[in-house]
Structure formats: structure tokens, C-alpha cells
């Protein structure tokens, strides 16, 4: 799995949706959580078929995805994978591919299409400053929505429903005629 591969997958999914007769072809939006948000930004920056972009707990810099990326030397990348202290095994191709992508630069290319940036104020996986950097990089129209006390995945019912309702209302507002 690589970010580049995920971008290709999202473009394929958008193409599939556009071929469906029950889909309004000019009303396609994407929502991504964490790395999914990164994929949404990078895809929308080059794919005008995506009309709105919603991001939940999204990174602004892939180097911050893992300390392994920062600590990986070329020697460690000679292996097929690297084991993180958390127990996750990260593939060499994934780490190399991370270096190709510039998220804030991509976020600046989405305008004039709307972008929503949702983030928990107590996200310990992707700190709040990532959302601030994305917001600063994004052109208009843009909106930020911070959920007080929420963690990376909005792991309480009230946080989840707050984020879902806000996002659904935002999609409806931005995709309505």
C-alpha cells in the first residue's frame, strides 16, 4: 500500500460513481479520515470531478505520519519493511512514496471548491496544528470545525454525532443547487 496507490484507487472510485445513473455526476464530494484525508486532498488537487472535500483528523505533512519516517535512514530503507515502536510494520515502498507528496501545496490547489477541516482538540495521533496548517494553506471557500476535547477518531458518541451532523449539513449546503 502506498499513498500514490490510494490516490489511484480514489480516482477509480470517482470514475465508477460518475458512471452510475443514480449519481449526480457534478455533485461528487469526498470525506477522508486521517490518511484518508491526505488521499482526499492529494486526489482533489488534480481531479476536478471532486467538487467538495471534507477532512477529519488529517495530516498536513506526511513526514509527521510516523517518527519512523523522520528516523529512517537510507540504510533502514534497504529492508523490505520497518517495524515501528507501536508494533505496526511499515513497508519500504510506503515510506519512500511518502516523500513524494506535499499536502499543504495540494490543499492550496483545491480552491474554488469548498473544503471542510474537522479536528479534535485533543488528537494525540495528529496534533491540532496540522488542521491549522491545512486551513492556512487552503483557499476560499473553507471552513474549520474543531471538536473540543475530541481524540483522533472522535471516540465518544457525542463527538461522533457532532462531527457526522456537521459534515452532513456542510455537504448538503455545498452540494445543493
Task: Give the span between the Cα atoms of 177 and 175, in whole angstroms.
Answer: 7
The sign of the CA dihedral 176, 164, 116, 97 is negative
121-143 pLDDT, tens digit per residue, is: 999 989 999 999 999 999 999 99
Q: Domain total for the chain?
A: 1
Tell me the residue range of the domain where 42 lies.
3-64+101-175
Q: What is the pLDDT along the chain (177 residues), one digit of tens a residue?
A: 899 999 999 999 999 999 999 988 899 999 999 999 999 999 999 999 999 999 999 999 877 654 444 454 444 556 676 666 666 677 778 878 888 899 999 999 999 999 999 999 999 989 999 999 999 999 999 999 999 999 999 999 999 999 999 999 999 999 987
Give every CB contact of residue 91 below 8 A, 6+ residues apart in sequence: 1, 80, 81
For the chain, percent of residues with pLDDT exceeding 70? 85
pLDDT on residue 73: 46
The answer to whether residue 111 is domain-embedded is yes
CA proximity to 14, closest of 42, 35, 59, 44: 44
pTM score: 0.88
- CATH code at 142? 3.40.50.1820
144-165 pLDDT, tens digit per residue, is: 999 999 999 999 999 999 999 9
DSSP letter assigned to residue 62:
G
pLDDT on residue 107: 97
pLDDT on residue 79: 67
Q: Are 159 and 120 in contact (CB under 8 A)?
A: yes
The answer to whether residue 73 is domain-embedded is no
Q: What Cα–Cα distance (Å) separates residue 31 from each residue in 10, 38, 41, 79?
A: 11, 10, 9, 34
Amino acid at each position: 500500500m502506498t499513498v500514490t496507490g490510494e490516490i489511484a484507487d480514489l480516482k477509480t472510485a470517482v470514475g465508477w460513481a460518475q458512471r452510475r445513473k443514480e449519481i449526480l455526476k457534478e455533485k461528487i464530494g469526498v470525506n477522508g479520515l486521517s490518511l484518508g484525508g491526505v488521499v482526499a486532498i492529494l486526489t482533489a488537487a488534480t481531479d476536478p470531478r471532486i467538487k467538495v472535500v471534507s477532512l477529519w483528523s488529517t495530516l498536513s505533512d506526511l513526514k509527521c505520519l510516523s517518527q519512523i519516517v523522520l528516523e529512517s535512514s537510507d540504510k533502514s530503507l534497504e529492508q523490505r519493511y520497518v517495524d515501528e515502536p507501536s508494533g505496526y510494520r511499515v513497508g519500504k515502498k510506503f515510506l519512500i512514496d511518502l516523500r513524494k507528496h506535499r499536502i499543504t501545496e495540494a490543499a492550496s490547489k483545491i480552491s474554488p471548491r469548498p473544503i471542510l477541516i474537522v479536528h479534535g482538540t485533543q488528537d494525540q495521533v495528529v496534533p491540532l496544528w496540522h488542521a491549522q496548517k491545512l486551513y492556512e494553506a487552503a483557499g476560499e471557500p473553507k471552513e474549520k470545525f474543531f471538536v473540543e476535547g475530541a481524540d483522533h477518531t472522535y471516540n465518544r458518541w457525542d463527538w461522533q454525532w457532532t462531527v457526522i451532523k456537521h459534515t452532513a449539513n456542510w455537504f448538503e449546503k455545498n452540494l445543493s443547487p
